[in-house]
A and B are shown apart, each in its own frame.
Chain A
Amino acid sequence: MYVVVGWLDEFLWGALVVLQIFMVGLTMTVILGLLGAAAKLSNIPVLRILATAYTTVFRAVPELLVLLIIYFGSAITLTAIAKLINPEIKFVDIPPFWAGSFAISLIIGAYATETFRGAFQGVDPGQIKAARSLGMSATHTFFYVRLPQMWRLALPGFGNHMLSMMKDTALISVIGVEEILYTAEIATSVTMQPFTMYMVVAIIYLIFTTVIMAIVRMLERMANRHLESV
């Protein structure tokens, strides 16, 4: 058990990498989700079809496969393009950290698109009428009336997506990113104590997911404050 102590700083470093991936992923997911929802709700049929294809594909294909396609596929494509410019180049790839974060964001973004779409549709149209009749522009109406109310509806679903994303970060170890699972694999080969090491990984993830759940609960309480009639 005490063998873990020797690996503590490697694990902490790996945990930091997990957090970094999560933060990058969170940002990209929100952007993709909003764009996707906008596309799905737009008047242009092409956008709607593209958005539907996006959500269907990325919710049905295994995360591991998406990760592998993006990482290896991008390497092949970039290398091909690079070779056109400079034939001397042997191999170009996107750093696995970014390939992995992007892959995870694409996947969770598909789920977020559906959640955001439902949330936008759940906003009382009367609110929008009132805002427009007061002379507020479409942009103002979106940021001051639509978005605050849509967010409250999207929060529970989005919270679940964040939990999924946190757990998906473990997959990035497969393409060689040095986060905690990767560290555990190395530690195992040295110490021959796989159970101990993977337990550490499990506990770290449990802490992360618990914190996320607590934050989401707090945000939900804040978002619904105005609905508690005293």
Chain B
Amino acid sequence: MIEKQSIPIIQLQKVDKFFGEFQALKNVNLEVRQGQKVVVCGPSGSGKSTMLHCINRLEKHDRGRVVVAGIELNDSLKNIDAVRSEIGMVFQQFNLFPHLKVVENLMLAPKLVRKATKTEARKIAMTYLDRVHIPEQAEKYPIQLSGGQQQRVAIARALCMNPQVMLFDEPTSALDPEMIAEVLDVMVELAKEGMTMICVTHEMGFARSVADLMVFMDEGEVVESAVPDDFFAHPESERTKLFLSQILSH
């Protein structure tokens, strides 16, 4: 009987990615098991976002393999769509659809991709809106909500597709300080419920409490990866030490 925990749900093997001449990802290897919470940190331009984008094919990797839930990502459209519906993504800029109400934002993908009926979609939407604690905002337009509320809607929108993995690309970096907590709280709850998560973030407090694995990236490479206790207490590489000293000094 194969342990569900031990099969990696996401595998990146020797992944390279180029933007023209510039190499954004160099020989990136990563394995994420079901239920694992991975936090990716590093200076800007280190390739963290690019790596996330390669996992759901928002960017095409040039060399290596990307395998999600047993499906290998290549040019086959069927594979790409199949992978995308298993992965939820939350963006730094929220990217809510401004012309749709909050509840409509959540209902759109289930209706179009999962072919849910209007009633079913609405039920799913309200369930997740409840989960992120803002059911009363359902009929409003995104612009009427605060940044923290918008990001929570974005999380709910991704959850409506019932993904196996949630990718977070610096979810709190565009938020005013007083709203960061409400979003992190939702992410912590999600983690506790067993969701597999890969988070690119600078929030080290969150990382320490939630992460199973810390990954440090710099200049397109995975420099170091370790469990949080080891990562924060005994970083091995000089670059990691430098980064940690800068980010933890305030």
Contacts and interface: CB of A to CB of B under 8 A. Distances in A.
Contacts of B112: 136-137, 140, 144
A133 B143 contact: no
A227 B143 contact: yes
Given A126-B91, A149-B99, A226-B99, A135 B144 contact: no
B247 interface: no
A124 B98 CA distance: 10
B113 interface: yes
Contacts of A144: 108, 112
A143 B96 CA distance: 16
Interface stretch (B8-16, B21-29, B82-90, B200-208): B82-90
A134 B99 contact: no
Contacts of B240: none
Report which residue of B58, B84, B97, B100 has the largest number of chain A beta carbons within 10 angstroms of its beta carbon.
B97
B56 A133 contact: yes
B152 interface: no
Contacts of A134: 84-85, 88, 108-109, 113, 157-158, 161
B95 A126 contact: yes
B97 A127 contact: yes
Contacts of B97: 127, 130-131, 145
B95 A149 contact: no
Interface in A132-160: 132-137, 140, 144-145, 148-149, 152
Interface string B134-170: 0000000111100000000010011001000000000
A84 interface: no
Nearest to A145: B97
A140 B110 CA distance: 12
Contact of A129 (B95, B100, B161): B95
B98 A130 contact: no
Contact of B113 (A135, A148, A230): A135
Interface in B86-137: 87-89, 91, 93, 95-100, 108-109, 112-113
**How large, as a class, is the contact surface on chain A?**
20 to 34
A86 interface: no
Interface string A209-230: 0000000000000000111111
A124 B99 CA distance: 12
A129 B109 contact: no
A145 B98 CA distance: 9
A136 B141 CA distance: 21
B98 A136 contact: no
A152 B98 CA distance: 11
Interface in B188-244: none
B81 interface: yes
A228 B142 CA distance: 10
B144 A133 contact: no
Nearest to B167: A133
Contacts of B113: 134-137, 140
A227 B109 contact: no
Nearest to A128: B95
Contact of B144 (A148, A149, A229): A229
Nearest to B101: A226
A129 B58 contact: yes
Given A127-B97, A226-B141, A226-B143, A135 B91 contact: no
A148 to B, nearest CB: 5
B104 to A, nearest CB: 10
Contacts of B93: 126
Contacts of B154: 130
Contacts of B98: 149, 226-227
Contacts of B81: 135, 137
B141 A124 contact: no
Given A134-B158, A135-B161, A129 B99 contact: no
Given A133-B88, A148-B99, A149-B99, 14 more contacts: A127-B97, A131-B97, A132-B84, A134-B84, A134-B113, A135-B109, A135-B113, A137-B113, A140-B113, A145-B97, A152-B99, A227-B98, A228-B143, A229-B143
Nearest first, the 10 A-B pairs at minimum CB distance are: A130-B95, A135-B85, A134-B109, A126-B95, A135-B84, A133-B89, A226-B141, A135-B113, A229-B143, A148-B99
12 contacts: A126-B91, A130-B97, A131-B97, A132-B58, A132-B84, A134-B84, A135-B161, A137-B112, A137-B113, A226-B100, A226-B143, A227-B98
